[in-house]
Structure 1
Amino acid sequence: MPKVELQFSGGLESLTGGNKVVKVNFSGEQVVLEKVIEWIRTSLIKEKHEYFVQGEHVRPGILVLINDVDWELEGKTSYVIQEGDCITFISTLHGG
């Protein structure tokens, strides 16, 4: 059961009830980032899901970091979550 820290910034914290940091234990031997994103969408974000996901994917304009490394270097949604990982979601889109 990996225990991970999820961080939200750039305005995304407003989707999580103002929570910038959420610590969570995921059940299962191998949990991939795709499942974490689905859990965030269904369990953590109560409304305006479209600001976080678009279809099955994280919305364009949201930077995803795994332990401060761009998720594209780590396999994106197929990354296997490890105990103590820090997954950061940063919105780079701003109104104006």
Structure 2
Amino acid sequence: TMEPLKVHIQFGGGAELLFDKIKRREVELPALKKYYPDCKHEKWLIKDLLVWIKDNLLKERPELFLQGDSVRPGILVLINDADWELYGELDYELQQNDTIMFISTLHGG
């Protein structure tokens, strides 16, 4: 289906400071091929979402959120309240109304 994919993105533990202090937002992702014409897969994966977040939501200092094509060490990612390691991390295929939470475990600095 080509309907937009709705996902809920949440930030906590200080990660929200990189996103204008907004802790939660619902986003509508366009068809992946529209966004990424040379993409080899059809469905949004978390790794695609990270690039979308960088392009659309991250206002400054992307290196505090991303490292390479993943989140930087010290940022915990939860998919519907469970550790993303249980879901295959970057290769998890996003589903309608998923909640993806990014929690910074780094304090101070």
Shorter-chain-normalised TM-score: which range? over 0.9
Match of 1:53 among 66, 70, 91: 66
The alignment's TM-score, normalised by the length of structure 2, stands at 0.84
Match of 2:9 among 6, 21, 43: 6
Runs of 4+ aligned residues of structure 1 deviating over 2 Å after TM superposition are none
Greater RCO, CA 8 A, separation 6+: 1
The alignment's TM-score, normalised by the length of structure 1, stands at 0.94
Structure 2: runs of 5+ lacking an equivalent: 32-41
The one-letter code matched in structure 1 to 2:23 is K
- How many residue pairs match? The answer is 96
Describe the superposition over 1:12-64 as per-residue Cα deviations: whole angstroms up to 9, x where unpaired.
Answer: 11111111001101122511111111111121011110110012210000000
| Superposition deviation, residue 68 in structure 1 | 0.5
Structure 1: runs of 5+ lacking an equivalent: none
- Tell me what 2:25 maps to: 22
The alignment-based identity, stated in percent, is 50
Following the alignment from structure 2 to structure 1, what is the Cα–Cα distance between the partners of residues 88 and 29? 19
Following the alignment from structure 2 to structure 1, what is the Cα–Cα distance between the partners of residues 100 and 69? 18
Following the alignment from structure 2 to structure 1, what is the Cα–Cα distance between the partners of residues 75 and 90? 14
| Rg (Cα) greater in structure | 2
Following the alignment from structure 2 to structure 1, what is the Cα–Cα distance between the partners of residues 64 and 22? 16
